[in-house]
Amino acid sequence: MDYSSKINDSIKSVKPSGIRKFFDIVNEMDNVISLSIGEPDFKTPWHIRKAGIDSLEMGRTWYTPNRGFAQLREEISNYMKRKCNLTYSADSEVVVTVGGSEAIDIAIRCLVGKGDEVLIPQPSFVCYEPLTIMAQATPVIIETKMENNFRLTVDDIKDKLTENTKLLILPFPNNPTGAIMEKKDLEAIAKLVEEHDLMVLSDEIYSELTYGGKNHISFASIEGMKERTIVINGFSKSYAMTGWRLGFACGPKEIVEMMTKLHQFCIMSAPTTAQYAAIEALKNGDDDIAYMRDQYDMRRRLVVGSLNKMGLTCFEPEGAFYCFPCIKSTGLTSEEFCTKLLHAKHVALVPGSAFGECGEGYVRLSYSYSLKHLKKALTLIEEFLKEL
Amino acid sequence: MDKLLKILSENSAYTTAQLALMLNEPEDYIKAQIKEYEDSGVIRGYQAMVNWDSVPDAGVMAIIELKVTPQKEKGFDEIAEKVMMFDEVSSVYLMAGGYDLALVVKGDTIQDVSAFVAKKLSALEGIVSTATHFMLKRYKEGSVALVDVEEPTDGREMIV
B17, B24, B160 member nearest A38 (Cβ): B160
Residue B10, pLDDT above cutoff 90: no
Write the DSSP assignment of chain B as a string of letters: --HHHHHHHH-TT--HHHHHHHHTS-HHHHHHHHHHHHHHTSS--------GGGSTT--EEEEEEEEEPPBTTTBTHHHHHHHHTSTTEEEEEE-SSS-SEEEEEEESSHHHHHHIIIIIITTSTTEEEEEEEE-----EETTEE-S-PPP---------
Name which of A39, A175, A302 is nearest B158 (Cβ-Cβ). A39
Q: What is the pLDDT of residue B146?
A: 85
- With beta carbons under 8 A apart, name residues in chain A contacting B154: 34, 37, 41
Whether A117 and A257 map to the same domain: the answer is yes
Domain with A306 in it: 3-44+287-387
Classify strands A199-203 and A229-234 as parallel, antiparallel or unpaired.
parallel
pLDDT tops 90 at residue A217: yes
Residue B159 has pLDDT above 80, yes or no: no
Predicted-complex ipTM score: 0.70
Judgement on whether residues A183 and A36 belong to the same structural domain of the protein: no
Instruction: Provide the pLDDT confidence category of residue A18 given band limits of 50, 70 and 90.
Output: low
A72 min Cα distance to partner chain B (Å): 27
Is B160 within 8 Å of A375 when comparing Cβ atoms?
A: no
- A258 and A146 belong to one structural domain: yes
CA distance A366 to A322: 4
Of all residues in chain A, the one with the smallest CA distance to B154 is A41
CATH number at residue A295: 3.90.1150.10
B77 plus B117 within the same structural domain: yes
- The CATH number of whichever domain residue B80 belongs to comes to 3.30.70.920
Does residue B157 lie in a domain region?
A: no
> With an 8 Å Cβ cutoff, are B21 and A305 in contact?
yes
pLDDT one-digit tens code per residue, A270-284: 999 999 999 999 999
Query: Within 13 Å, how many C-alpha atoms sit on residue B12's CB side?
Result: 11
* Number of domain units in chain B: 2
Whether residue A294 sits in one domain with residue A215: no
Please indicate, yes or no, whether residues B18 and B57 belong to a single structural domain of this protein: no
Domain interval for residue B102: 52-137
* Co-location of A99 and A246 in the same domain: yes
Contact between B18 and A38 using a beta-carbon 8 Å cutoff: no
pLDDT band at B1 (very low <50, low <70, confident <90, very high): low
Which is nearest to A170 in space by CA: A202, A126, A196? A202
Helix (H), strand (E) at residue B3: helix B3-10
Q: Is residue A254 located within the same domain as residue A313?
A: no
Residues B17 and B83 in one domain: no
Cβ–Cβ gap A371/B23 under 8 Å: no
Please report whether residue B59 resides in a domain.
Answer: yes
Q: Which amino acid is at A130?
A: P
Residues A153-182 pLDDT 10s? 999 999 999 999 999 999 999 999 999 999
Is residue B33 situated within a structural domain? yes
Edge-to-edge strand list for the sheet holding B101-107: B89-94, B101-107, B60-68, B127-134
Residues B60 and B126 in one domain: yes
Strand order in the sheet with A322-323: A322-323, A363-366, A350-351
In a domain, B128, yes or no: yes
Q: Provide the number of structural domains found in chain A.
A: 2
Q: What is the mean pLDDT of residues A69-89?
A: 98
A38, B14: Cβ pair inside 8 Å?
no
Pairing label, strands A138-143, B60-68: unpaired
Same domain, B11 and B79: no
Are B29 and B68 found together in one domain?
no
> Are B81 and B8 contained in the same domain?
no
Q: What is the pLDDT of residues B46-74, one digit of tens each?
A: 998 888 888 998 899 999 999 999 888 88
**Do both A210 and A316 map to the same domain?**
no
Residue pairs spanning A and B at CB distance below 8 A: 46
Nearest-by-Cβ selection for B159 from A36, A305, A309: A36
Q: Are residues A244 and A367 in the same domain?
A: no
First-residue to last-residue Cα distance in chain B? 35
Longest dimension (CA), chain A: 60
Residues of A in contact with B159 (CB under 8 A): 19, 23, 36-38, 350
Q: What is the pairing mode between strands B140-141 and A165-170?
A: unpaired
Determine whether the interchain pair B21/A301 forms a contact, defined as Cβ–Cβ distance below 8 Å: yes
Enumerate the residues of chain B whose CB falls inside 8 A of the CB of residue A304: 21
Domain boundary among the residues A284, A312, A337 is at A284
Answer yes or no: is pLDDT of B150 > 90.
no
Q: How far apart are CA A166 and CA A347, in angstroms?
A: 42
Are B105 and B63 contained in the same domain?
yes
Listed residues A284, A306, A337: the one ending a domain: A284
Q: Are residues A39 and A51 in the same domain?
A: no
Distance CA A50, CA A88 (A): 28
Residues A125 and A110 in one domain: yes
Indicate left, alpha or beta for B143 from its phi (over 0: left) and psi (-120 to 50: alpha): left
* Cβ within 8 Å, pair A298-B23: yes
| Among A388, A173, A181, CA closest to A300 | A173
Single-letter amino acid, residue B72: K
Q: Which of A17, A38, A302 sits opposite B21 (nearest CB)?
A: A302
Q: Give the bridge partners for B125, in sequence order.
A: none
Residue B35 sits in the same domain as residue B74: no
